[in-house]
Structure 1
Amino acid sequence: MTLRTRVGLAGGAVVLVALAIASVVVYSSVRPNLHRQLDDSLMKAVESSPTVAAQLKQKVEASGQPKLADTPVDLGSTLVQFIPAPVRPGPNRAFIDVTKRDANVAVGQEPAYFQDVTHDGVAYRVYTALMPGSRSGGGALVRAARPLDDATGLLTGLAALLAALTVVGGLVAALAARLAARRVLRPVRVLTDAVEHVTATKDLRARVDLTGRDEIGRLGRSFAAMMTALDASVHAQRRLVADASHELRTPLTSLTTNLELLAEDDGLRDPEAPALVRAAIGQAGELRSLVNDLIDLARYGEGTARAEDTRLDLVADRVVAKAAGRAAAPRFESALSPCLVHVDPDAIERAVANLVDNAVKWSPPGGQVLVVVADGELTITDEGPGIPPADVPFVFDRFYRSAQARSMPGSGLGLAIVRRVVETYGGEVAAEPLARGVRMRLRLPVARD
């Protein structure tokens, strides 16, 4: 069953239930009103009974034909029966029997009353009262009766009408809801077609044109943004695999070649064996460094969950202290102001260390590296050859190495790791060429105490 059909059925069911409740309320309200109107008409007939009795007496006298006093008089839909005094319980020739209660009403011992009786197969509503104008000590009775079918027929017709309206209203509402759902759910159908297309073709370039401001429009825009991000992620993954395979292939080929040379006849007795071993160790170290960088690049992605308040100035101080202790290290100058950021301490230390290592690698002998921390920003300035303007937009890309850096050791992932770490925590990085050297800038949101 389609969603459109389910929406139509749900809409019809809601309207059907609402109409059913309304019909029950209307029927429940009309039913007592009809009975009350029936009782009022009987009471009015009793009130006008003296006039009817006088007219009846004139007609009898004018016709000269005797008429039984207790014979009911048919006044349209109402029967009026006069029971002359004295009223005694017993059978009645023309209508229902006279009861002891009737006799008590005639003498004023009981009030007038209503009753439902059946006479000759017809159900009646009967009102029995002392005839107006009669003496309360023993007057005549008057009965007013109307068939209950008058009210029952109206109620039956009303019930049938309400039932028909309820059913027809529910069906019409279901049809209208289904037709409306076709238009309302059109964006969902468009989105479904796009998802099925992506599933069938694996084409992540599919786009959904939904411009509405409602939830469906928001869903469409979110889906389009997700597809764009997913497409970019897949392309980035493919590029990473291609770049990583290329970068891994070179040291792996050299390592394999050296090991093959060592495995030849002379083997370790060859005078070149120590050099080959040293080269193999160096190439294995390059592989290890490259693999570690790849692992760190993946680990410091957007899925990084750990974060805590960290003093950026203290992290920078530790990194500078380690770098300054190395052989042939440049001179370090530091200006570190207290700065609190909310990050993963290990990740940010790795990022700062990569920036410092980059500055050390490019610093000339006797050069100086200036490290400054203030207001959530860390800058590292070296006195190296700088960065060509054409390379500035790409220095933080994975595996990117400028022409002058390709002869130097490195995987091309250090600055990419820096950007990944910083952007994970809402920061940004930049490279600023100087007249002499380059300034690497790292900025993070400051965590306020």
Structure 2
Amino acid sequence: MTGPSLRRRIVVTCALTITLALAGMAAAAFLVVRHELYRSLDLELGRQVTAVRSGHGSSGQCQYLVEAACVQTLDSSGTVLSPADIRLPIDAGARAVASGAQATSSVDITVGAFRYRVRTEPLRPEGAVQVALRTDKIDASLHRLALALGLTTLIGMAIAIAAVLAAARAGLRPLSALTRTAEQVAVTANPDQRIEVSGRDEIARLGRSFNTMLAALRSAMDAQRRFVADASHELRTPLTALRTNVDLLDRLSPADRAATITTLRGQASELTGLVTDLIELARSDDPQAPPDESEPINVDQLVHRCVRTAQRSWPAITFDTDLTPTEWIGVAPRLARAISNLLDNAAKFSPAGSAVRITLRGGELTVRDHGPGIPAESLPHVFDRFYRAVQARDYPGSGIGLAIVKQVADAMGATVTVESPATGGTLVRWSRS
């Protein structure tokens, strides 16, 4: 069961907030006006009391609005001495004023069908005077004010809700487009769709981020497709050779069979190395793969071990080393794989009898060979997966060795560059940041 939409929640929240604000302002306005009207009435009652004290006050038919105020005098015990046209009730407050225990008293009363406001003040030397005025006009004014404020509040609510609806519809339109695009991508698995983005608000930023994510998804899918195609191509050749040699075994003489088995072992070893490289590349591309634990590495000792292994694989090449004791932080097996790739690459392109020079100085490792070198136009692509320069296609290999070197360097926060010195050959420089 789905909950209310975002648009509905926004509209309801804004409508409730605006309603409470309008109702609060209307109530405050009503209370302020009511206070001022009754304050004016109290001032008038005070003037009437002053007139009575000076002997100028009178009591007419005070049940009518056009007549004067009702006036009633009390003795100190609260007994009525001179009643008004209508008898005003004597409450505890009036008795307290008459006895001198209280300075003044104001109450609202209802006599018959009319409401009055009664003010009681002391007389000298004793007793009290009560003056009353009808509140019909004030009550009628407050009633009209309440109706006007209520109607204004309702109209304001309607206008506010309409404005919020329009604003929500316009503001959430890019979000709706983004939702539709995301749903289409989920259904069609096609990340080529884009949403139109305008403005600089948060929703526009979200739209641009979504388009960037779709572009990255397209790049990842293309890279995956190329990886699968290139890996299939690279695996097909050694697998075909293996199958051919296996098929020939039964038809070969014992001597030829032994030679073929040796060839098969070499091809199997090459295939194993290729699969290992492919797994390394795939693992590096997996964002959910658990990171390897870094640890201090004695790089000079690691390079020595890699050189011994390379020397066994390339007996016709001399590996000269100039290594100083060095410690880096990283993953030893991955660094060993990268260094072995550099050594194999250098030996593969070096003529028999030549030397590969390995130098380690603090934060920099260099591998220098004396092979044919790399053309300038190929240098920007040497770290691309499965890239092989034209002159390198006559040599064995898959073209992913340097790609792995670059990935390991990036993971360790290092930079790796390839140069073609003027004297020939290739120089690979691994530098710690």
Q: What TM-score comes out, normalization by structure 1 length?
A: 0.79
Could you say which residue in structure 2 is the equivalent of 1:299? 283
Could you say which residue in structure 1 is the equivalent of 2:430? 442
Select 1:9's aligned residue among 8, 12, 30.
12
Q: Deviations over 1:221-247 (max 9, x none)?
A: 322322222211111111111111112
Unaligned runs of 5+ in 2: none
Select 2:152's aligned residue among 148, 165, 188.
165
Ranked by relative contact order (alpha carbons within 8 Å, sequence separation 6 or more), the top structure is: 1
Could you say which residue in structure 2 is the equivalent of 1:281? 265
1:342 Cα deviation from its structure 2 partner: 4.8
Select 1:368's aligned residue among 345, 355, 358.
355
Contact 1:395–1:415 (8 Å) recurs in 2:
yes
User: Does the C-alpha gap of structure 1 residues 442 and 312 become closer, same or farther in structure 2, counting only changes over 3 Å?
Assistant: farther
Q: The residue matched to 1:96 in structure 2 has which SS?
A: coil
Amino acid at match of 1:175: A
Could you say which residue in structure 2 is the equivalent of 1:49? 52
Distance 1:401 1:108 in 2: 114
Distance 1:326 1:55 in 2: 129
Could you say which residue in structure 2 is the equivalent of 1:128? 120
User: Does the C-alpha gap of structure 1 residues 9 and 416 become closer, same or farther in structure 2, counting only changes over 3 Å?
Assistant: same
Q: Deviations over 1:332-358 (max 9, x none)?
A: 344446666554333222212211121
User: Does the C-alpha gap of structure 1 residues 343 and 23 become closer, same or farther in structure 2, counting only changes over 3 Å?
Assistant: farther
1:219 Cα deviation from its structure 2 partner: 2.2
Q: The residue matched to 2:45 in structure 1 has which SS?
A: helix
Contact 2:63–2:86 (8 Å) recurs in 1:
no
Q: The residue matched to 2:315 in structure 1 has which SS?
A: coil
Q: The residue matched to 2:69 in structure 1 has which SS?
A: strand
Match runs of 1:339-378 below 5 Å? 342-374=329-361, 376-378=363-365
Could you say which residue in structure 2 is the equivalent of 1:63? none
1:311 Cα deviation from its structure 2 partner: 5.4
Contact 1:347–1:421 (8 Å) recurs in 2:
yes
Amino acid at match of 2:125: S
Could you say which residue in structure 2 is the equivalent of 1:220? 207
Which segment is superposed worse, 409-418 or 146-155? 146-155
Q: The residue matched to 1:48 in structure 2 has which SS?
A: helix
Amino acid at match of 2:332: P
Contact 1:205–1:227 (8 Å) recurs in 2:
yes
1:124 Cα deviation from its structure 2 partner: 1.7
Could you say which residue in structure 2 is the equivalent of 1:61? none
Contact 1:88–1:98 (8 Å) recurs in 2:
no
Could you say which residue in structure 1 is the equivalent of 2:21? 18
Contact 1:210–1:217 (8 Å) recurs in 2:
yes
Contact 1:91–1:97 (8 Å) recurs in 2:
no
CA RMSD of aligned residues (A): 3.7
Q: Deviations over 1:187-227 (max 9, x none)?
A: 32443343344334433233444354333333233223222
Distance 2:102 2:426 in 1: 117
Which segment is superposed worse, 215-224 or 81-90? 81-90
Q: What TM-score comes out, normalization by structure 2 length?
A: 0.81
Contact 1:331–1:367 (8 Å) recurs in 2:
yes
- Find the structure with the greater CA-based Rg: 1
Contact 1:127–1:144 (8 Å) recurs in 2:
yes
Select 2:239's aligned residue among 241, 245, 252.
252
